[in-house]
Amino acid sequence: MSSFHRDTWVEVDLDCIYENVKAVQEHVSDDVSVIAVVKANAYGHGDVQVANVALEAGAKYLAVSFLDEAMSLRQQGVKAPILVLGASRVSDLELAAKEDITLTVFQREWLEEASKVSLGDASINLHLKLDTGMGRIGARSKEEVKEIVSQIKSMDNFRLEGVYTHFATADEIHSTYVEKQFERFNELISEVEELRSVRFIHCGNSAATLRFPKRIFNAVRVGIAMYGLTPSPEMVPSLPFLLKEAFSLHTKLVHVKKLALGESVSYGATYTTKDEEWIGTVPVGYADGWTRKLQGMNVLVDGQYAPIVGRICMDQFMIKLPYQLPVGTVVTLIGKQEEQKISSDDVADKLDTINYEIPCMISYRVPRMFLRNRSIMEVRNYLQDKPIMG
Ligand SMILES: Cc1ncc(COP(=O)(O)O)c(C=O)c1O
């Protein structure tokens, strides 16, 4: 921790990620390939570290959103197959082929353009995305799908390696909509003969994988469960195994003072002490992703809950301490202290959003520290974009 100059850090427990991937693999059958979803810097956890540990735990493929994210993994030495889930430019095809990155396809026009690109000796794997009800990207009709498949067949150096869809409501216990999507996906696969023999057929995100392990074909794309978070609060009672939350966020008090009754704290003077109070200053703010809407949320200090008082500033906020504590005392914003815990779920609840957003929103200003085999493996400072210990 000495080679960066800030006592605020995210701890990413890679052992939890390893165990979550193993548990997912055990939950589905051995012949189902786990595709570890590491888009968005692995949901804010750290792309290459998560990718490597997921592969070590048995994942066979990685998935990201954009070609840049795939390139970032390649540049950091990741050799495993990587699927880009989002749209890519035809003009980037050569680069994708050179770096052996699998692209998602779903438009006839895109393929027509792609057919004019010469890849020389290189070839590229494609996964066809079907829109069975998400309404985002994907081919929708049987005719469209047939045309796309025969177009790919006619193109040298292009190989249809996968076909997939994405569920809109798999995390909701009411399953009418997800059943419709299953049905549509099954229909399209049975109607278009070539699709039945592609190597990877996948539809399961975390929620569908956890809920329907026997119906998710031969690959699953797992994101949130790998990070140890539930796909939705309503799934908690029926989770098939314990998910181990990998992400925690900590800092240290930089200032402690006693305020008299009736004194105010922070911009707008929105908080006024109701008595003599010990107030601690925490060096984290909305520029770190700790948004102003978290005013009133608890943090943990000395194993106890302490509320954020007054407005959250760009780089600092104040908490009401249970009693006098020394400067340098560890403050946990997400994670455990003694018997108490604040999960990304609690932060999401306070913000009226989903847990996915919480690790993603903790900005590049906060260095990530990676734990493996219960000890520090690497510390990465994204401000300098390099590991500072490894
Ligand atoms: C296409 C696609 N597949 C898989 C996932 C992983 O979903 P989850 O994190 O719910 O497992 C996502 C994430 O949003 C996605 O967009």
pLDDT digits (tens, 9 = 90+) for 112-152: 999 999 999 999 999 999 999 999 999 999 999 999 999 99
Q: Give me the pLDDT at residue 283, please.
A: 98
CA distances 279 to 57, 90, 258, 327, Å, are: 44, 56, 6, 11
Q: How confident is the model at residue 390 (pLDDT cuts 50, 70, 90)?
A: low
Answer whether 54's CB lies under 8 Å from 35's CB.
Answer: no
For CATH 2.40.37.10, the residue range(s) in the chain are 247-355
Residue 166 has pLDDT above 50, yes or no: yes
CA distances 75 to 58, 70, 99, 245, Å, are: 22, 9, 10, 28
CA distances 156 to 50, 63, 102, 152, Å, are: 35, 25, 16, 8
Q: Which of 253, 249, 285, 254 is nearest to 267 (CA)?
A: 285
Q: Give me the pLDDT at residue 89, please.
A: 98
Residue 171 has pLDDT above 60, yes or no: yes
Ligand 1 mutation target, pool 84, 221, 224, 232, most atoms within 8 A of CB: 221
Q: How confident is the model at residue 384 (pLDDT cuts 50, 70, 90)?
A: confident
Ligand 1 mutation target, pool 17, 37, 206, most atoms within 8 A of CB: 37
Return the residue matching tokens 């400072």: 381
Q: Give me the pLDDT at residue 101, please.
A: 98
Which residue owns the Cα nearest ligand 1 atom 6?
223
Find the 86 Cα to ligand 1 centroid distance in Å. 11
Residue 313 has pLDDT above 70, yes or no: yes
The burial of 144, by beta-carbon neighbours within 10 Å (0-12 exposed, 13-18 middle, 19 or more buried), is given as middle
Q: What is the dihedral of CA 6, 12, 14, 18, to 10 degrees?
A: -170
- Rounded to whole angstroms, how far apart are CA atoms 5 and 383? 11
136 assigned binding-site residue: yes
Backbone angles phi, psi at 187, to 5 degrees: -60, -50
Q: Give me the pLDDT at residue 3, please.
A: 57
Backbone angles phi, psi at 271, to 5 degrees: -120, 130
- Which 3 state secondary structure label does DSSP give 180? helix
Query: Please, what CATH class does the domain formed by 14-227 belong to?
Result: alpha beta
Return the residue matching tokens 């070609």: 67
Q: Give me the pLDDT at residue 1, please.
A: 46
- Sign, CA torsion 232/236/239/245: positive
- Rounded to whole angstroms, how far apart are CA atoms 45 and 315? 21
Paired tokens of 53: 């540990």
Q: Which atom of ligand 1 is nearest to the CA of 209?
A: 11
Paired tokens of 263: 């004194």
Q: List helix spans (H) across the chain.
A: 14-27, 39-43, 47-56, 67-75, 93-98, 108-114, 142-154, 176-191, 193-196, 206-211, 344-351, 357-361
Which residue owns the Cα nearest ligand 1 atom 14?
223
CA 172 to chain centre: 19
The H or E element that residue 83 is part of is strand 82-84
The torsion region of residue 289 among left (phi > 0), alpha (psi -120 to 50) and beta comes to left
Q: Which residues line ligand 1 (CB under 6 A)?
A: 37, 85, 166, 205-207, 221-225, 231
Residue 21 has pLDDT above 70, yes or no: yes
Q: How confident is the model at residue 2 (pLDDT cuts 50, 70, 90)?
A: very low
- Rounded to whole angstroms, how far apart are CA atoms 83 and 35? 9
41 DSSP 8-state letter: H
Return the residue matching tokens 């052992």: 15
**Average pLDDT of the segment spanning 80-97:** 98
Q: Which residues are catalytic?
A: 39, 267
Mean pLDDT rounded to a whole number for the chain: 96
**Average pLDDT of the segment spanning 282-302:** 98
Q: How confident is the model at residue 375 (pLDDT cuts 50, 70, 90)?
A: confident
314 assigned binding-site residue: yes
Spatial neighbors of 91 by CB under 8 A, at least 6 apart, are none
- Which 3 state secondary structure label does DSSP give 269? helix
For CATH 3.20.20.10, the residue range(s) in the chain are 14-227
**Average pLDDT of the segment spanning 79-105:** 98
**Average pLDDT of the segment spanning 195-207:** 97
**Average pLDDT of the segment spanning 57-81:** 98
CATH number, domain 247-355, options 3.40.605.10, 2.40.37.10, 3.20.20.10, 2.40.110.10: 2.40.37.10
Which residue owns the Cα nearest ligand 1 atom 2?
166
Give residue-wise pLDDT tens across range 267-290: 999 999 999 999 999 999 999 999
Task: Residue count of the chain, please give it.
Answer: 390
Q: Which atom of ligand 1 is nearest to the CA of 35?
A: 4
Find the 164 Cα to ligand 1 centroid distance in Å. 12
Answer whether 263's CB lies under 8 Å from 278's CB.
Answer: no
Find the 95 Cα to ligand 1 centroid distance in Å. 25
Find the 203 Cα to ligand 1 centroid distance in Å. 10
Q: Give me the pLDDT at residue 20, please.
A: 98
Q: Which atom of ligand 1 is nearest to the CA of 227?
A: 9
**Average pLDDT of the segment spanning 376-390:** 75
Find the 66 Cα to ligand 1 centroid distance in Å. 13
- Rounded to whole angstroms, how far apart are CA atoms 105 and 199? 16
**Average pLDDT of the segment spanning 327-339:** 97
Low-confidence winner among 4-13, 63-72, 298-307 (lowest mean pLDDT)? 4-13
